Amino acid sequence: MSEDDFDRLLRETIIDVMTGILGAPAVKTVFSYIQRTHLLREEDLPSNMTVFTKGLEDFFKVGAQMIEQEIVKELSAKVSAGFKPSGDFNESIVRLREEYRSRKET
């Protein structure tokens, strides 16, 4: 499996978590906002997590942290049961990507 597999898993997890919390119409609105204000398309999320985080924070303010925590929780359940997230969303995603790669290489 390639790095693209993690990217796909990450993108699907983001969409699933946000849809579960907000509902599909609201998720479309959020992604439209992020694309319009931060020039980030949904398919480019995995390679631009810093921009995605900024877009979430701009849209939801403090509420973005709850969404980020749920994304990390769901993704870690799919990648590594023993994963302990850091306080930083982007750092947790980087660590999960590394964990995913190391598990696929063995």
- Choice between 104 and 97, residue whose per-residue pLDDT is larger: 97
CATH T-level fold of 3-105: 1.10.1200
Q: What is the mean pLDDT of the chain?
A: 91
Nearest Cα to Cα of residue 78 among 70, 86, 67, 88: 70
Q: What pLDDT does 82 receive?
A: 79
Find the length of the chain. 106
- Predicted pLDDT of residue 76: 93
Question: 35-91 pLDDT, tens per residue?
Answer: 999 999 999 999 999 999 999 999 999 999 999 999 999 999 998 767 888 789 999
pLDDT band at 103 (very low <50, low <70, confident <90, very high): confident
Pair 46, 31: CB distance under 8 Å: no
Q: What is the pLDDT of residues 2-40, one digit of tens each?
A: 448 999 999 999 999 999 999 999 999 999 999 999 999
Domain ranges of the chain: 3-105
What stretches of the chain adopt beta strand conformation (E)? none
Full-model pTM: 0.90
